[in-house]
Structure 1
Amino acid sequence: MKVLIIEDELAASDNLAYLLQSIDRNIEVIAVLDSVKASVDFFSKPHEAELVFMDIHLADGISFEIFERTSIDVPVIFTTAYNQYALKAFKFNSIDYLLKPIDKDELADALQQFKIQNSEKSIDDRQVKGLLDLIQTERKNYKTTFLVGLRDQLIPLKTDNIAYFRIDTGIVKAITSDNKSYTVDEKLEDIEKELNPENFYRANRQFIIHREAVVNLKAYFNGKLIVEVTPVCDERIVVSKAKASEFKEWMEN
């Protein structure tokens, strides 16, 4: 099987190529492309690719632009870090995807499904439009302002000014970049759904943090991470081993 990888992170493309070879020695990676432009050029000419692994965010744009500028006539499996709007779009449009960092067993399952199903099945214009429509809709609906408690008042607080949300003695607090604390009359689970996942991450049960608030990450026992933020928090923010790789991927993207 001849495979094309579209990925702008060298470590990620090398890892995927390694996993593919370890699963099936007959798989040949014919090229690794890192941009929308290079991908459009590739598909504008005759090619031998039988299956494409495609990251969403590329060096010069979002990979969905490729479908708008050229015809891709082979199956595509998207690779993506956890992203709520993207996953919803994939599921709704019946498009295959793998979460990064890619798990070998899940990759093997995806390859098996590719072989079982019609190998000539490719993404059509309807699916691409569905992806773009859902993503654009989700982006527009993210909350930009919270009404927060200040003594006997409710005041508007811009989401961009919030460094992190935390649960403090059972009460949800929004901590701003200038280290002010406000009470938010919502559950942390509901707040998570209202935030843009590109900017905010649910680190654990007690914290949702803005990427701009992250100062550094420290290795902790059993593969966990400690996240140091600004303003400084008086409680240690720990990311579990299960979410550590996902969190680092989110930070890099």
Structure 2
Amino acid sequence: MKTVIIEDEKAAVRNLTSQLNEVKPDVEVIAVLDSIEGTIEWFNSNPMPELVFMDIHLADGSAFEIFEHIHITCPIIFTTAYDEYALRAFKVNSIDYLLKPICKEDVEHAFEKLESLQDSPFKNEDDLQTHDNELLQLIHSLKKQENYKTHFLIPLKGDKLLPVSVDMIQLFYIKDCQVKAVLADGTEHYFPQTLDELTDCLNPTLFFRANRQYLVSREAIKDIDLWFNSRLSINLRYLGNQEKILVSKAKVAEFKEWFSRK
């Protein structure tokens, strides 16, 4: 099986190659590519391989940029340092992923999935189109995952900007039709974005939209009270907030599932 490895870490290449030799000796690594530019050039001048292992983060950018320039028609197994939750959608798709550091069992599972796909070919053009659309949605979702905000510059009086990392923020809430952020030290700052915009640009594994007024960080939650009508009341570590943050009955199951994620 002619295979291409797209990976910019030499140690990761050595480890993956070693695992492949042990699990699938018939795999022939015909090229190791370490950049977006080099990958595009190689695929434009060589026949399509039978399999690709692709790291998501390369030295010159996101590997997703590759798909904007070339069409890879063979199966792709992504390798990544993302946590399992961020990529769990791949578990039900023909494309698999290996979470670094890669072990023997990971490689075995990936080939089992690949063989299962090959034993169940698409029945018609509609099936193929559906698969392609699902893959595009997954790639879009993961590309968005890479673009979640990790830092903000908050405007202050006196023509200054305050740099703030997302992990410093306890919650966002609406007050007097404006959005305010509460930091871990208890200070509050106005934000120009709407709560909807913030909900969209922040990693949903870190923040939960409790209701129309509050977007809460997991780290800000002290404990939770069972409330009337099967609702929940979130108590924050930030003592300055005296209002109860209520999670509606309709969102209780979603909140519990969110909070228990890794």
Gapped regions of structure 2 (runs ≥ 5): 123-127, 151-165, 174-179, 188-217, 225-234, 247-253
**2:84/2:99 contact within 8 Å kept:** no
Going from structure 1 to structure 2, the CA distance change for 1:12 and 1:127 (only over 3 Å counts) comes to: same
Look up the match of 1:64.
64
> TM-score by structure 2 length?
0.53
After TM superposition, give the deviation of residue 59 of structure 1 in Å: 1.1
After TM superposition, give the deviation of residue 77 of structure 1 in Å: 0.7
**2:56/2:62 contact within 8 Å kept:** yes
Which structure's CA Rg is the greater one?
2
2:78 paired with 1:104:
no
**1:3/1:52 contact within 8 Å kept:** yes
**1:35/1:58 contact within 8 Å kept:** yes
**1:151-186 deviations in whole A, cap 9, x for unaligned?**
xxxx72258x9xx94888998647xxxxxx988979
Gapped regions of structure 1 (runs ≥ 5): 149-154, 175-180, 195-201, 203-253
2:159 paired with 1:134:
no
Structure 1 SS opposite 2:118: coil
Q: Using the TM superposition, name which of 83-92 and 119-128 deviates more.
A: 119-128
After TM superposition, give the deviation of residue 69 of structure 1 in Å: 0.7
**2:48/2:72 contact within 8 Å kept:** no
Q: How does 1:188-199 map to 2 (within 5 A)?
A: none
Cα distance in 2 for residues equivalent to 1:125 and 1:100? 26
2:181 paired with 1:156:
yes
**2:5/2:29 contact within 8 Å kept:** yes
Larger RCO: 1 or 2 (CA < 8 Å, sep 6+)? 1
Structure 2 SS opposite 1:44: helix
Alignment RMSD: 4.6
**1:191-237 deviations in whole A, cap 9, x for unaligned?**
9959xxxxxxx6xxxxxxxxxxxxxxxxxxxxxxxxxxxxxxxxxxx
Cα distance in 1 for residues equivalent to 2:59 and 2:146? 21
After TM superposition, give the deviation of residue 34 of structure 1 in Å: 1.1
Going from structure 1 to structure 2, the CA distance change for 1:43 and 1:142 (only over 3 Å counts) comes to: same
Look up the match of 1:21.
21
Count how many residue pairs are aligned between Structure 1 and Structure 2. 183
Cα distance in 2 for residues equivalent to 1:46 and 1:141? 35
Going from structure 1 to structure 2, the CA distance change for 1:106 and 1:66 (only over 3 Å counts) comes to: same
After TM superposition, give the deviation of residue 97 of structure 1 in Å: 1.4
After TM superposition, give the deviation of residue 61 of structure 1 in Å: 1.4
Look up the match of 1:238.
none
**Which AA in structure 2 matches 1:100?**
K
After TM superposition, give the deviation of residue 125 of structure 1 in Å: 4.7
**Which AA in structure 2 matches 1:131?**
L
Q: How does 1:55-94 map to 2 (within 5 A)?
A: 55-83=55-83, 86-91=86-91, 93-94=93-94
Structure 2 SS opposite 1:101: coil
After TM superposition, give the deviation of residue 86 of structure 1 in Å: 4.2
Look up the match of 1:240.
none
Q: How does 1:29-48 map to 2 (within 5 A)?
A: 29-47=29-47
Structure 2 SS opposite 1:133: helix
Cα distance in 1 for residues equivalent to 2:8 and 2:31? 12
